[in-house]
Amino acid sequence: MLILGIETSCDETGIALYDNALGLLGEALHSQVALHNEYGGVVPELASRDHIRRVVPLIRQTLNQAQRTLADLDAVAYTAGPGLAGALLVGASVAESLAMALKIPALPIHHLEGHLLSPLLGDNPPAFPFVALLVSGGHTQFMSVEGAGQYRLLGETVDDAAGEAFDKTAKLLGLPYPGGPALAQLATTGHPQRFALPRPMQHSGDLNLSFSGLKTAVSLLIKTHGSAAHADIAASFEAAVVEVLCSKALQALRQTGLKQLVVAGGVGANKQLRAALTSQLARHGATVAFPPLHLCTDNGAMIAYAGALRCLEQGIEALPTHQGFAVYPRWPLATTRGQTPPGV
């Protein structure tokens, strides 16, 4: 069974082909970082227009790379939300049109479900059940994952997402968009213990998190110490985020009695976070799995894979072909399959 995956929720056009028996057959990604760079963040209208330019050529390129044609497809999976409405509509319209023309099912996929399942595309995929830590630019949450489609929210950020905190702090430090990787790079040259930044909600007793206070603390430090301290501030900020995420991750495992953590989303690419989780969980007899580095940030492979699992689970014959479609810019990750997404 061959699934085409299309991701256009934000600033990356991601396309992939996943075969249930053979695995990932082809992938293509176009990042809009250069396009949005001069604005210091994603400009939604520019994002949609660029997705329109890229999506069909990238589908062709991926099919050629995998030596497959449109006629070989069994279903088309696409990100239906959450994300930027106009950007989502590009992927949704292309996917639904292709599916209608080919008389195959189109599968609307939740972007976070894609991230959540992406570690299963790695070499040593974790088995269900596990605790997932989703850390992206828009979300930071702990989920208990019993199986594909069975997700229970354990706790989440009450304000900024971890990636958003990285991006906003990076902006304060004068670093280019997207700020996370740039801040992490600057932090390698700084002293993480120089500034004792707050560890918000570390001892709140629940699995919720908060990051917005950190950027206020950082802006005060910048005013007091000036640019000479930027690397130390970056390192101290990163250390604070990593420490809070590690301690809450341990708490999530204790609370659920599970022994496996799976990390997904763009901040999962952070090297300090990876190292700290790996060593601290090992000390507690638990393991941590990360997606392959290139699948941490947005990509088509995770969407194709989520679509493939849905086909296996529900049976491809049972999936409806064309019914009309909508996108869901704000869509909480459903606890089980079959829950109707809210209106746009």
| Contact positions vs Zn ion (CB under 5 A) | 136, 298
Phi-psi region of 191 (alpha: psi -120 to 50; beta: other; left: phi over 0): beta
Interaction partner, residue 74 (Zn ion, ligand KG4, none; CB < 5-8 Å by kind): none
CB of 33 to ligand KG4, least distance (A): 10
Residues 231, 237, 238, 240: what is their CA dihedral angle, to the nearest 10 degrees? 150
Nearer to ligand KG4 (CB atom), residue 26 or residue 266: 266
- 126 part of the interface to ligand KG4, by CB under 6 A: no
Long-range contacts made by residues 312-320, C-beta under 8 angstroms, separation at least 24? 312/1, 312/20, 313/148, 313/149, 313/337, 316/1, 316/74, 316/75, 316/105, 319/75, 319/105, 319/107, 320/105
Give the residue, chosen from 192, 265, 291, 307, that forms a contact with ligand KG4 under the rule CB under 6 A: 265
Nearer to ligand KG4 (CB atom), residue 75 or residue 169: 169
Give the residue, chosen from 14, 126, 163, 300, that forms a contact with ligand KG4 under the rule CB under 6 A: 163
- 209 part of the interface to ligand KG4, by CB under 6 A: no
CB of 72 to ligand KG4, least distance (A): 29
- 160 part of the interface to ligand KG4, by CB under 6 A: no
- 137 part of the interface to ligand KG4, by CB under 6 A: yes
Residues 309, 113, 97, 324: what is their CA dihedral angle, to the nearest 10 degrees? 100
Give the residue, chosen from 114, 179, 200, 300, that forms a contact with ligand KG4 under the rule CB under 6 A: 179
Separation CA 340–CA 254 (nearest Å)? 32
Spatial neighbors of 210 by CB under 8 A, at least 6 apart, are 157, 158, 159, 160, 200, 201
- 269 part of the interface to ligand KG4, by CB under 6 A: yes
- 136 part of the interface to ligand KG4, by CB under 6 A: yes
Separation CA 181–CA 167 (nearest Å)? 9
Give the residue, chosen from 184, 242, 245, 288, that forms a contact with ligand KG4 under the rule CB under 6 A: 184
- 173 part of the interface to ligand KG4, by CB under 6 A: no
- 87 part of the interface to ligand KG4, by CB under 6 A: no
- 74 part of the interface to ligand KG4, by CB under 6 A: no
Nearer to ligand KG4 (CB atom), residue 105 or residue 200: 200
Give the residue, chosen from 41, 44, 122, 181, that forms a contact with ligand KG4 under the rule CB under 6 A: 181
CA angle 32, 33, 36 (to 5 degrees): 85
Stretch that binds ligand KG4, among 40-48, 68-76, 102-110, 132-140 (CB under 6 A): 132-140
- 236 part of the interface to ligand KG4, by CB under 6 A: no
SS3 category, 246: helix
Interaction partner, residue 166 (ligand KG4, Zn ion, none; CB < 5-8 Å by kind): ligand KG4
Q: Give φ, ψ of 146 to 5 degrees.
A: -85, -35
Interaction partner, residue 182 (Zn ion, ligand KG4, none; CB < 5-8 Å by kind): none
For the chain, where are the alpha helices, taking DSSP H only? 33-37, 44-65, 85-102, 111-117, 162-172, 179-187, 212-225, 230-256, 271-283, 301-314
